[in-house]
Structure 1
Amino acid sequence: RLKPPGPPPDTRALVDAARRARAVAHRHGALFVVNDRLDVALAVEADGVHLGQDDLPLADARALAVRAGRSDLLIGVSTHGDAQVSAAVAGGADYLGFGPVYGTRTKQNPDPVQGIQGLARAVALAGDVGVVAIGGVTPEVAAVIAATGAAAACAIGAVNQATDPARAGRTIGDAWRA
């Protein structure tokens, strides 16, 4: 997922970075999802776009993607509680980000912690829509998160702040599959 730190770069720079990131992702057999910016996702033919609660509404994003000939574009939505999960599922989200499951220092003003029980409820409410857990994901909690039925987990701090990010990612993946 392309989400640069700091102030937003100009759109041209973001499109250039997204094109490079998409090439790397596809070279390694991974999907490429752009955060927040439908325009950039469409411009670089990303596999998907991830929308936060304050971004373009899901219905509008879907309509614009279809109009652009991208009815196949995956659209994910960040959710932080039961009502948002239900609304995103009803609105046709392809997947949900849910959290923070545990406390996080990655965001300056994080939403309230939902806990493992909140994640389990989100998975149940989402039905066939995949739920990606986010917030405080570490090797120590990966198996607990997996046991809820979540489709995946997203670890930011545990990977980005590690001395060996690749190894940290593998360790979380190994714990998830345990």
Structure 2
Amino acid sequence: MNRPVDYSLYLVTDRGLAKERSILEIVKKAVSGGVTCVQLREKACSTREFIDQARALKAWLDQKGVPLIINDRVDVALAVGASGIHLGQSDMHIRDARCLLPEGSLIGISAESQEDALAAERDGGDYIGISPVFATPTKTDTAPPLGLEGVRRMRKAIRIPLVGIGGIGLSNGAGVMTAGADGIAVVSAIVAADDPKKAARALKKAIEKNGT
């Protein structure tokens, strides 16, 4: 990625919340509503299905100039030429991923503590997903919520972009941005919405009006 990345409204997919709609259908509507970055997260499907879905998403997102980030799977990111990868603390180390990925690929790192965030910045991460900002039902194996004060502390310590995730929706997204995040990552607030385009548009309007 040679151009700056807009992380402001970052969608993380979850087929379990899709209500029998395809992820591609939801992503199309969400991007039409203002989503600026998409992370494809798949935990249960086969590798072949993951790649097929990622390739279809990338073909459409490329037309819109929206980056596709693959969760965890460096092999899938390589297979489809994704914009980058998002790694957790127990996934491949950032230095190893950097050796495998093409020059200019984005690498995002999940961090639940300032120590993890500082290490990710030091090791060359492009952005950090700080989590959970608030309690969330979509992930149960997380640390205690950071809250807005935790976001502020992270912002003072970290220079690279911060994306808040965890329990973020229309009622609190702007506050996360005001606390210093460069973007908000949402899952259920868009994926589970009856109208993902409308939900994304409302979130985008809220963070542009109050959070930036």
Q: In the aligned structure 1, how far is the partner of 2:55 from the partner of 2:49?
A: 10
Equivalent in the alignment of 2:9: none
Runs of 4+ in 1 over 3 A off after TM superposition: none
| Deviation of 1:74 (Å) | 0.5
Q: In the aligned structure 1, how far is the partner of 2:60 from the partner of 2:144?
A: 34
| Deviation of 1:110 (Å) | 2.7
Q: In the aligned structure 1, how far is the partner of 2:188 from the partner of 2:48?
A: 28
Equivalent in the alignment of 1:35: 71
Tell me, yes or no, if structure 1 residue 11 matches structure 2 residue 47. Answer: yes
**Which of 188, 191, 203 pairs up with 1:160?**
191
Tell me, yes or no, if structure 1 residue 75 matches structure 2 residue 75. Answer: no
Tell me, yes or no, if structure 1 residue 2 matches structure 2 residue 40. Answer: yes
Deviates more, 1:159-168 or 1:40-49: 159-168
Alpha-carbon RMSD across the aligned residues, in angstroms, is 1.2
Q: In the aligned structure 2, how far is the partner of 1:109 from the partner of 1:58?
A: 22
- Give structure 2 stretches of 5+ with no counterpart: 1-38
TM-score of the two chains, using structure 2 as the length reference:
0.77
Tell me, yes or no, if structure 1 residue 114 matches structure 2 residue 146. Answer: yes
- Give structure 1 stretches of 5+ with no counterpart: none
Contact 1:34-1:49 within 8 A present in 2 as well = yes
SS at match of 1:133: strand
**Which of 50, 61, 66 pairs up with 2:86?**
50
| Deviation of 1:10 (Å) | 2.1
SS at match of 1:140: coil
Q: In the aligned structure 2, how far is the partner of 1:84 from the partner of 1:108?
A: 19
Contact 1:81-1:118 within 8 A present in 2 as well = no
Number of equivalences: 171
Tell me, yes or no, if structure 1 residue 146 matches structure 2 residue 182. Answer: no
Identity of aligned residues (%): 36
SS at match of 2:171: helix
Q: In the aligned structure 2, how far is the partner of 1:24 from the partner of 1:77?
A: 25
Give the letter for the 1:166 counterpart: K
Q: In the aligned structure 2, how far is the partner of 1:147 from the partner of 1:108?
A: 26
Deviates more, 1:115-124 or 1:82-91: 115-124
Ranked by relative contact order (alpha carbons within 8 Å, sequence separation 6 or more), the top structure is 2
SS at match of 1:93: coil
Equivalent in the alignment of 1:59: 95
| Deviation of 1:78 (Å) | 0.5
Equivalent in the alignment of 1:136: 167
Q: In the aligned structure 2, how far is the partner of 1:47 from the partner of 1:72?
A: 8
| Residues 28-53 of structure 1: per-residue CA shift (max 9 Å, x gap) | 22001111011111111100100011
